[in-house]
Amino acid sequence: MTQEDETGQAQTNGAADADQPDHGAYIVEPMISAKAIAARVEALAKEIERTFADTELLVVVGLLRGSFIFIADLVRELRLPVEVDFIEASSYGNAMESTREVRILKDLRAPIEGRDVLLVEDIVDTGHTLSQVVKMLRARKPRRLATIALLDKPSRREVEIRADWIGFEIPDEFVVGYGIDYAQRNRNLPHIGKVVFRERGTDTAGDGAGP
C-alpha cells in the first residue's frame, strides 16, 4: 500500500519500457519492466487458482491506493469466481518515512465472515500496515485469509510478517510506478522504478508508494 510493506524475488534489473521520467528534483531509474511484471502476475494467478480451486467465491481485497493496478491485472488473470472490495489504510501521507501508525480511511463494504479472502498489497516494507490489516480481517472470521504483495523489502521489516505470495523482493530503495506513488505522482508508470534525487546526489531509500 505504501512503501512500508513489500515482497518479491530479487529483480532489480528489468528493462524499462520508457525513458527515465524527469521531475526536476528527481529522476526515476528503471528496476522492473512492465513485461516482467505481467509475467509474474500471470504466474501468481496460477498459484492462487490452485490454492483456492474449491472456492465458491473469492473476495479479493485491495489495499488502496498503491495496489489498484496490481489488483486489476491480477483479477483479470484469475479463472475463479471473484468479488472485489477495497480497504484504504494510511501510514505515510506524503512523507517518506512511515509514522508506524495505521489508520483505516475506508473499510470493506461487505462482511467477510465464512468467506475466502485474498488481501492484495502493493509493497511490504516495515510490515506494520499488512500486519495490522491482517489482524483486523482475521477478527472478522473469514473461512480462509491469504495475502499477496507485489513487492517486498525484507531488509526494512520491523514486525514478523510475510505475504503468502510475493511478486518481487527488492532492496531498500524508494520505488514508484505501477500504482505506487511518491507524493501522489508516478502511479501511472507502466514499470517499477527507483527514485533518485538530484539535489542530494544519492539514492533515497524509503517508501516508494503512497497509501
Each residue's pLDDT expressed in tens, for the chain with a length of 211 residues: 455 433 333 333 333 334 565 567 889 999 999 999 999 999 999 999 999 999 999 999 999 888 999 999 999 999 999 999 999 987 654 445 555 677 888 999 999 999 999 999 999 998 988 999 999 999 999 999 999 999 999 999 999 999 999 999 999 999 999 999 988 899 999 999 999 987 654 443 334 543 3
Provide the pLDDT for residue 29.
Answer: 94
| Residue 14 within any structural domain of the chain | no
| DSSP-assigned letter for residue 21 | P
Instruction: Identify whether 19 is part of a domain.
Output: no
**Residue 96, domain member (yes or no):** yes
Nearest to 84 by CA among 107, 105, 60, 68: 60
What's the structural domain count of the chain? 1
The three-state secondary structure class of 136 is helix
Q: Residue 96's domain spans which residues?
A: 26-197
In a domain, 108, yes or no: yes
Rounded (5°) CA angle 179-158-6: 20
Any domain includes 107 = yes
In a domain, 94, yes or no: yes
Query: Does a structural domain hold residue 8?
Result: no
Which three three-digit cell numbers place residue 61?
A: 481485497
* Domain CATH for 153: 3.40.50.2020
Judge if pTM exceeds 0.85. no
Within-domain flag for 150 = yes
The residues assigned a catalytic role are 125
Q: Which three cell numbers stand for residue 57?
A: 467465491
